[in-house]
Structure 1
Amino acid sequence: MMRDTRHLAGRARLLALLLCAGLVLAGPVAGQDEARLVVSSAAGEPLVTLPMAEGEGWCLEWNHSVEGFAVLDCYRHRDGRMVLERSHLPDFAAGLDHIPGRGRQVSDGEGGYWIEDLDEPVPGNAYRLRVGSLAVDHRLVVDGERISLSRLAADRAVTLRLVTP
């Protein structure tokens, strides 16, 4: 009987040691030590979470409500801040014009234009967006991949936030 107790105690110590070693090797909980772009519902529920290391960027793309073509606002994680870098406007349609003194307008070679050098930090690293219907299809574009926010939260408010450690 004594032998069984020592055997079980030894196994328990070994199991505890392995568990502790696993925690040390695993490090902090995933996502806590890296910056990420989070889109959350008005209730604070995360809808999209993407790693967003220093220097990486993403765009918010949507279809213009009148003309239907894609419009882009492009951001970058710069020095722990969400920064609006540039916007792409394929036409001078309603509401889409360059404001003198805010970046510089450059032709895209296809009849539209980029507004470059905006370099506007987003206050608080976050902004609210009323997500459009599927016709508008607000979407995140990261590394050429598109995530439709309209499929997740059409006609609802969300917050886009750059969370930094």
Structure 2
Amino acid sequence: MLTLCAASTAVWADASHLEVLDDHGQALVSLPMPEGERWCMEWNHSVTGIRVQDCYRHHQGNMVLERSHQPDFAAGLGHVPGRGRQVSDGQGGYWIEDIDEPVPGNRYRLRVGSARVDHRLLHEGRRISLSELAAGERVTIHLRTPDSTP
């Protein structure tokens, strides 16, 4: 298991963690994730290879999808009217801002892509490649809070 800790009093005051769990419930990654903390899931689009990001925050005990970056209108990508607002990233792509959708149960399932897709977790300047840990496997991304169930 990869465990990364930050030396911060906020980390110790809030026992919340972002976990990546394998199909057997074993933690592959566990990151302290106190209230207000943000992280992104980044990957290369399986058809075009462009880099896509979904960014989340820990808000009042909930995993909330905050924004999404899409450098192109590739297959399966695009802004859905009424779900956030689309703004230019200044480089030909766009951000969908203000999505602010709680993720049901503070977790979602992901089939981790190959090295070409390279699903990676971004947090505090670090990139953790889930594809190196579990390519082709199903994992659960879970914000575990003191009040959540396993």
Structure 2's unaligned 5+ residue stretches are: 1-10
**2:97 corresponds to which of 116, 119, 130:** 116
Q: Once the 2 structures are TM-superposed, how far is the Cα of residue 58 of structure 1 from its aligned partner? A: 0.3
Contact 2:14 2:35 in 1 (8 A): no
Quick one: distance in 1 between partners of 2:78 and 2:38?
23
1:125 aligns with 2:106: yes
Structure 1's unaligned 5+ residue stretches are: 1-29
**2:119 corresponds to which of 126, 138, 152:** 138
1:102 and 1:33, CA in 2 relative to 1: closer, same or farther beyond 3 A? Answer: closer
Contact 2:14 2:34 in 1 (8 A): no
Partner of 1:57: 38
Identity of aligned residues (%): 68
Where 2:55 maps in the other structure, the secondary structure is strand
Q: Once the 2 structures are TM-superposed, how far is the Cα of residue 33 of structure 1 from its aligned partner? A: 5.5
Partner of 2:69: 88
The Cα offsets for residues 126-151 of structure 1, whole Å up to 9 and x where unpaired, read as 01100000000000000121000000
Quick one: distance in 2 between partners of 1:92 and 1:127?
24
Quick one: distance in 1 between partners of 2:48 and 2:138?
23
Larger radius of gyration: 1
Partner of 1:161: 142
The CA RMSD measured in Å over matched residues stands at: 1.5
Q: Once the 2 structures are TM-superposed, how far is the Cα of residue 116 of structure 1 from its aligned partner? A: 0.3
The amino acid that maps onto 1:90 is P
Normalized per residue, the structure richer in strand is 2
Quick one: distance in 2 between partners of 1:39 and 1:164?
14
Q: Structure 1-normalised TM-score? A: 0.80
Where 2:29 maps in the other structure, the secondary structure is strand
Where 1:151 maps in the other structure, the secondary structure is helix
Q: Structure 2-normalised TM-score? A: 0.88
Q: Once the 2 structures are TM-superposed, how far is the Cα of residue 72 of structure 1 from its aligned partner? A: 0.1
Number of aligned residue pairs: give it: 136
Contact 2:70 2:95 in 1 (8 A): yes
Runs of 4+ in 1 over 6 A off after TM superposition: none
1:152 aligns with 2:143: no
Where 2:19 maps in the other structure, the secondary structure is strand
The amino acid that maps onto 2:135 is A
